[in-house]
A and B are shown apart, each in its own frame.
Chain A
Amino acid sequence: MSWIDIGALDDIPPRGARLVRTGKGCVAVFRTGADEVFALDDACPHKGGPLSEGIVHGTSVTCPLHNRIFDFATGAAQGADSEVTRTYPAKIEAGRVLLDLSRLSGRSAA
C-alpha cells in the first residue's frame, strides 16, 4: 500500500466530499456524518455524474444526476441498479486523510 496524505479531515465537510484531481480523472473523497472517509471515482458509472456533488447519507452517496445510490464500501449501486464504481482505500490518521491510489494505475486516462 502506498498511502498519500491528501489533507486534513477538517478540509472535507461532514456529509460532504472533496476532489483529488489525478492525471487519470478525479477521485471523490467523502466524509460521513460519523467521520469516516471513503474514496470513489468521481464519475458515476451510469452517465458520468459527479458523485462528489451528491448527497451523502449513512455510508453511501446519491448521484446528483439520476439518483443512483452507491455504497462506499463496495462501490456498488443499490437495489435494481447494477453499476459498480471503483473504490480506493482511505483512512484517517492523526486528523489527516490518507489515500491509496495504487488501483488507479489500472485505469485508462479519463
Chain B
Amino acid sequence: MEKLVVIGAGMASGRVLEHLFDAAPGAFDVTLFNAEPRGNYNRIMLSPVLSGEKSAEEIVTHDADWYARHGVATRFGERVTAIDPARKVVTGENGEVPYDKLVIATGAAPFIVPLPGHDLPGVIGFRDMEDTGAMIAAAATPGATAVVIGGGLLGLEAAAALRLRGMEVTVLHNSGHLMNRQLDEAAGYLLEKDLARRGIKVITRAGTERIDGDGKVEKVVLGDGTEIAASLVVMSAGIRPRAGLGMAAGLAAGRAITVDAQMRTSDPDIFAVGECVEFEGNLFGLVAPLYDQARVLAKTLLGEEDAFVMRELSTKLKVTGCDLFSAGDFAEGEGREDIVFRDPARGIYKRLVIEADRLLGAVMYGDTADANWFFGLIKDGTDISEMRETLIFGPAFQGGGGPSADPLAAVAALPPEAEICGCNGVCKGTIVTAINGGAQTLETVKAQTKASASCGTCTGLVEQVLAVTLGAAFEAGGAKPVCGCTELTHEDVRRLIKARELKSQAAVWQELGWTTKDGCHVCRPAINYYLLADWPLEYRDDPQSRFVNERNHANIQKDGTYSVMPRMWGGMTTPEELLAIAAAAKKYDAAVKVTGGQRIDLLGVKKEDLPAIWKDLNDAGMVSGHAYTKGLRTVKTCVGSDWCRFGTQDSTGLGIKLEKRLWGSWTPHKVKLAVSGCPRNCAEATCKDVGIVCVDSGYQIGVAGAAGMDVKETERLVDVATEEEAIEWSTAFIQLYRENAKYLDRPYKWVAKVGLGWVKEILSDAAERRALNARFDVSQSVYQTDPWAALVTEEERKSWSSPLMDMSREAAE
C-alpha cells in the first residue's frame, strides 16, 4: 500500500480523506498529523460554539471511530517541523515518518497586527478551539470587556458571540464601513445599526495605535487618543497562509505554496490543499473553493483526471438574526447600473449590479430569502433583460407566476443547477436526485450530498427542496421549527432565550426574527412558558398566550361549559370536603365524576358560574386542582403503611408532601406523580412521570413513565433512604425538566432525547440538586398561588365572566 502522509487535520484535508475513502477504501495507508490536539472538526462553527449556541462536541466531523475504521494513524497534538523531499520523510515532534505521497494542508493563521503590546497576554486570534476556549474563559469574568480589531466576517462573529456571553464589546474597523470587502456602504450601515441594537459598539475609520497593560491587556489606545478598556483583544485583521513548512522544503511559493489545477506543488509527490495554497495568484479564505480543491486532489491522488477552477463566491454572516448576503462584484463603474430596493421600516436593503444584461453582483441585508437564486444568475451569467423590471423581487415574480410570498413556490421555481449549499457547492438537481434515490430526510440528504453540512445557513432551503420534491410525504425531521412564524426549533429558541437573556415575548419576536407580528396559537403558549420558566422574577405570565383552559382555570367542554376539580391532596379527602362538593354540584347543576386521578370532577359548569363555585369550594378549604394545566396535576397514592398490611412506608403522607411542594408549578407538559407503599404498586407509580415505590430500605424513584398515548414503564433514577431525599430528588428532576424540555414533551419524551444517563449525571451531584431545588423555590414564590382565590371581591368575580355589554333584551325587541 502506498504511504500517504497528511499534514494538518483541517476542513480541507478532512474532505480529501472522505473522498479518498469513499472512492478507493484501502488504497492508502494514511498518517494524519495535526498541531491541534484533536482531529477534524467544522472550524466555521467555532462562532456558534463561542456564543454558546453549539457545543464543542456538536461540531466534530470525524471521531476516533472514523479514523479507526479507515485505518488512519493519527498523530494529533504533534506539529510537523520539517519536510525532506529528497529522502521523502517528514519530521514530527515525535519522530520521522516516510511518505510516498505527501499532502500539506496547514491552513492559515490569524494575522496579528504588529502593534505595540500585541504580545501581551489577553491578545488572541480567532482560529481554533484553544482560541475559542480562551475567549469563553475571558468572558466568564464579571465585568470583562473586549475589543475586536477588524470588522470583517470573523471579527463580527466573534463580537456578536462575546456579546451574547455578556461582555461589553467594541469593534474597531479601519475602513469606513463594516465588512467593506463584502458589503457596500448602505448594507454596512444597516449592519452597524443592527450590532448597535445588540449593544456592540462599532468605531469605523479607527486608527489603532497601541495595546496597553501591565503584564496583561488593559486597554486599547486609538490614534486620536481615545482609550478603550479591554480585558480581551481579539485580532481579526485577516489571515496569513501557513506556508512556511512548504517553503522551507524548497517548494515553489508566492504568498503561499504554489499549486497547479491538480493541486500538485513543484515537487511531483507533494500536494497542497486549503488556505495554505496559492492558485494562479489567488489565495483562499472560505471553504467552498477548498472543498472543490479537496475533490480534485482526491482524484489526482487516485490517478484520475480533474481540474480545479476558480468560481464565484458568496458570503453570509453567521450571526443569528443578522441576515446578510453578498456575491459578485458590486463596485460602481462605467456602464453599470444599480437596482435598489429599500424597506426602512423592516430594515431591508437589496442592491443588484447589472452590466450588459447580466447580473454582476448582489448585496442583500435583512431579507436574504432569494439570495441563492441571485447567486445562480451571477454564476451562470444569465441574460436578465426579460426579467429586468421585476428582477429585484426575486424568483417568485418571474415567469408569469405573479406575486407570491410562498417560499416553497420560490424554491420550486429554482432551476436544477441553482446552488443551494454554497459551502459545498451542492445544486438543487443533486439534492433532488438524492431525494428521488431514497434520501427522504434532512439527515440523509446531508449525509449523501453534504448540503447543509457545513455552516448550516441553507438548512431551511434544503428542507424546502425536500418539501417541494416529496410533497406531503415530507415531515421536517430532527430540526422542526416551532411553527410557521420562525425557522428556529424549540431547542434553538430555549437556548437563545437563555443565552441572549430575552425576557419578553416582544424581545423573542424581534431578536429571533419572527416572521409574524405577534406569533400564533402554536408558538405563543410555548414562548410564554419558556420565559416564565427561565425568568420567573422578571417575566410576567401572559394570559393571552394561554390556551382557554389555562386562561379560565378550567377545562372547556365540547358544549362550551367547563369542569371544576378541586385538589384532593394525595387522594385524601374528608367528610366536610365531600359535603361542600356535593352542595356545589347541586347548586350549579354539575355532573359528578370520580376521575382517574383520585379526585372528583364537577362537569358542565357555565363560565359565568365559575367564580361562584370556586368561592364556595375555597370557603370549604379547597384549592384548584389544576386539572387543566401544563403543570403539576395529581400525586396518586395508595393507603400505605397507615392501613395496609403490606405497606412499608407512609406512601400517602409522602404523596401529600410531594403534592404540597409541587402544586402550582408550570411545566413543559403536564406532570403526574404517584407513590405506592410497596412493590404491589396499587398507585400505579411505575407508569408516571415520576413514580415512587416504597420498600423496606427506603424509596425507589422512577421517572419517565407513560400511560397515555404511549405506555412505558418508569426507569429507575435512584434509590434513597429518607422522605426528604425522595422529595429533593423528585423536585430536582422536575426542575431540570422545566428548564430544558421542549414545550409539550412529557418527561418520557424529553428523557428519551437527552438520555437518562445525562439526567442522572447532573442529579447525582448534591450541589446541583440543591441549586435546582433553590431555583424551583424561586419560581414557586411567584407561581404557587390558587387561581380560584385570585378573584377576591364580589365585583371582581362578577366582571371576570361578564359580557362587555348585554343587549339581549333590546335586540330581542
User: Which A residues lie at the B interface, using CB under 8 A?
Assistant: 4, 6-7, 11-16, 18-24, 26, 29, 33-34, 47-50, 53-58, 62, 64-65, 67, 69, 101, 104, 109
Once bound together, how far apart are the Cα atoms of A109 and B813, in whole Å?
12
Name the one of A29, A50, A55 contacting B544, with C-beta atoms under 8 angstroms. Answer: A55
Which residues of chain B from 527 to 567 have a CB within 8 Å of any chain A CB? 543-548, 551-552, 556, 558-560
* Total contacting residues, chain B, CB less than 8 A: 31
Residue of B nearest to A8 (CB): B804
Instruction: List chain B residues, Cβ under 8 A from A104.
Output: 811
Query: B803, A21: Cβ atoms under 8 Å?
Result: yes
Query: A58, B516: Cβ atoms under 8 Å?
Result: yes
Instruction: List chain A residues, Cβ under 8 A from B811.
Output: 22-24, 101, 104
Which residues of chain B from 794 to 813 have a CB within 8 Å of any chain A CB? 803-813
Query: B524, A23: Cβ atoms under 8 Å?
Result: no
Once bound together, how far apart are the Cα atoms of A107 and B813, in whole Å?
14
Nearest CB in chain B: distance from A26 CB, A: 7
Residue of B nearest to A11 (CB): B804
Name the one of B548, B558, B810 contacting A54, with C-beta atoms under 8 angstroms. Answer: B548
**A48-B560, A65-B556 given as contacts; is B805 within 8 A of A57 (CB)?**
no
Query: A21, B805: Cβ atoms under 8 Å?
Result: yes
Nearest CB in chain A: distance from B54 CB, A: 31
Instruction: List chain B residues, Cβ under 8 A from A6.
Output: 804-805
Name the one of B521, B551, B559 contacting A67, with C-beta atoms under 8 angstroms. Answer: B521
Q: With contacts A33-B517, A64-B547 known, what are 8 further pairs, Cβ within 8 A?
A: A19-B803, A34-B517, A48-B560, A55-B520, A55-B545, A58-B518, A65-B556, A101-B811
Query: A20, B560: Cβ atoms under 8 Å?
Result: no
Tell me whether B691 is interfacial, beta carbon within 8 Å. no
Query: A55, B547: Cβ atoms under 8 Å?
Result: yes
**A13-B544, A18-B803 given as contacts; is B558 within 8 A of A23 (CB)?**
no
Instruction: List chain B residues, Cβ under 8 A from A16.
Output: 543-544
Residue of B nearest to A99 (CB): B805
Residue of A nearest to B546 (CB): A55
Query: B804, A7: Cβ atoms under 8 Å?
Result: yes
**A33-B518, A62-B520 given as contacts; is B544 within 8 A of A15 (CB)?**
yes
Tell me whether B655 is interfacial, beta carbon within 8 Å. no
Nearest CB in chain B: distance from A70 CB, A: 11
Instruction: List chain B residues, Cβ under 8 A from A101.
Output: 807, 811
Once bound together, how far apart are the Cα atoms of A62 and B525, in whole Å?
13
Once bound together, how far apart are the Cα atoms of A67 and B522, in whole Å?
10
Name the one of A7, A53, A58, A62 contacting B517, with C-beta atoms under 8 angstroms. Answer: A58
Subset of 22 A-B contacts with CB under 8 Å: A11-B804, A18-B803, A19-B803, A19-B804, A20-B803, A20-B806, A21-B803, A21-B807, A22-B807, A22-B808, A23-B807, A23-B808, A33-B517, A49-B560, A53-B551, A54-B548, A55-B524, A55-B525, A55-B544, A55-B545, A56-B544, A58-B517
Query: B547, A57: Cβ atoms under 8 Å?
Result: no
Tell me whether B519 is interfacial, beta carbon within 8 Å. yes
Name the one of A23, A29, A55 contacting B804, with C-beta atoms under 8 angstroms. Answer: A29
Once bound together, how far apart are the Cα atoms of A33 and B505, in whole Å?
12
Residue of B nearest to A22 (CB): B811
Query: A54, B521: Cβ atoms under 8 Å?
Result: yes
Query: A69, B521: Cβ atoms under 8 Å?
Result: yes
Once bound together, how far apart are the Cα atoms of A99 and B805, in whole Å?
11
Nearest CB in chain A: distance from B693 CB, A: 39
Nearest CB in chain B: distance from A47 CB, A: 7
Query: A23, B805: Cβ atoms under 8 Å?
Result: no
Residue of A nearest to B559 (CB): A48
Nearest CB in chain B: distance from A5 CB, A: 9
Query: A62, B560: Cβ atoms under 8 Å?
Result: no
Query: A23, B812: Cβ atoms under 8 Å?
Result: yes
* Mask: chain B, 59-94; 1 = CB below 8 Å from A; 0 = not: 000000000000000000000000000000000000
Name the one of A7, A23, A34, A62 contacting B521, with C-beta atoms under 8 angstroms. Answer: A62
Residue of A nearest to B809 (CB): A23
Instruction: List chain A residues, Cβ under 8 A from B552.
Output: 53
Instruction: List chain A residues, Cβ under 8 A from B805.
Output: 6-7, 20-21
Instruction: List chain A residues, Cβ under 8 A from B525.
Output: 55
Instruction: List chain B residues, Cβ under 8 A from A33.
Output: 517-518
Instruction: List chain B residues, Cβ under 8 A from A58.
Output: 516-518, 520
Which residues of chain B from 133 to 164 have a CB within 8 Å of any chain A CB? none
Instruction: List chain B residues, Cβ under 8 A from A23.
Output: 807-813
Once bound together, how far apart are the Cα atoms of A64 and B805, in whole Å?
22
Residue of B nearest to A61 (CB): B521
Nearest CB in chain A: distance from B211 CB, A: 48
Query: B804, A14: Cβ atoms under 8 Å?
Result: no
**A7-B804, A21-B803 given as contacts; is B548 within 8 A of A15 (CB)?**
no
Top-10 shortest CB links A-B: A23-B812, A62-B521, A23-B811, A18-B804, A64-B548, A55-B521, A19-B803, A15-B544, A53-B548, A22-B811
Residue of A nearest to B545 (CB): A55
Residue of A nearest to B520 (CB): A57
Residue of B nearest to A43 (CB): B560
Instruction: List chain B residues, Cβ under 8 A from A54.
Output: 521, 548
Which residues of chain B from 769 to 813 have a CB within 8 Å of any chain A CB? 803-813
Instruction: List chain A residues, Cβ under 8 A from B813.
Output: 23
Once bound together, how far apart are the Cα atoms of A22 and B810, in whole Å?
8
Once bound together, how far apart are the Cα atoms of A62 and B545, in whole Å?
11
Instruction: List chain B residues, Cβ under 8 A from A13.
Output: 543-544
Which residues of chain B from 98 to 139 have a CB within 8 Å of any chain A CB? none
**A16-B544, A50-B560, A53-B548 given as contacts; is B521 within 8 A of A21 (CB)?**
no
Residue of B nearest to A56 (CB): B544
Query: A57, B808: Cβ atoms under 8 Å?
Result: no
Query: A64, B556: Cβ atoms under 8 Å?
Result: yes
**A23-B810, A24-B811, A64-B548 given as contacts; is B521 within 8 A of A57 (CB)?**
yes
Instruction: List chain A residues, Cβ under 8 A from B803.
Output: 18-21, 26
Query: A21, B808: Cβ atoms under 8 Å?
Result: yes
Once bound together, how far apart are the Cα atoms of A58 and B525, in whole Å?
15
Once bound together, how far apart are the Cα atoms of A29 and B517, in whole Å?
20
Instruction: List chain B residues, Cβ under 8 A from A34.
Output: 517
Once bound together, how far apart are the Cα atoms of A94 and B631, in whole Å?
42
Nearest CB in chain A: distance from B315 CB, A: 34
Residue of B nearest to A33 (CB): B518
Instruction: List chain A residues, Cβ under 8 A from B547.
Output: 55, 64
Nearest CB in chain B: distance from A77 CB, A: 13
Residue of B nearest to A19 (CB): B803
Once bound together, how far apart are the Cα atoms of A45 and B53, in whole Å?
45
Nearest CB in chain A: distance from B813 CB, A: 8
Query: A53, B520: Cβ atoms under 8 Å?
Result: no
Once bound together, how far apart are the Cα atoms of A24 and B776, in whole Å?
49
Query: A65, B558: Cβ atoms under 8 Å?
Result: yes
Once bound together, how far apart are the Cα atoms of A7 and B804, in whole Å?
7
Query: A57, B548: Cβ atoms under 8 Å?
Result: no
Instruction: List chain A residues, Cβ under 8 A from B804.
Output: 6-7, 11-12, 18-20, 29
Instruction: List chain B residues, Cβ under 8 A from A55.
Output: 520-521, 524-525, 544-547
Residue of B nearest to A59 (CB): B517
Once bound together, how far apart are the Cα atoms of A104 and B811, in whole Å?
9
Query: A20, B807: Cβ atoms under 8 Å?
Result: yes
Residue of A nearest to B812 (CB): A23
Most chain A CB neighbours (cut-off 10 Å) among B551, B560, B804:
B804
Name the one of B524, B806, B810, B812 contacting A57, with C-beta atoms under 8 angstroms. Answer: B524
Nearest CB in chain B: distance from A40 CB, A: 14
Residue of A nearest to B523 (CB): A57
Once bound together, how far apart are the Cα atoms of A27 and B82, in whole Å?
84
Once bound together, how far apart are the Cα atoms of A11 and B548, in whole Å?
19
Residue of B nearest to A34 (CB): B517
Instruction: List chain B residues, Cβ under 8 A from A67.
Output: 521
Residue of A nearest to B516 (CB): A58
Instruction: List chain A residues, Cβ under 8 A from B521.
Output: 54-55, 57, 62, 67, 69
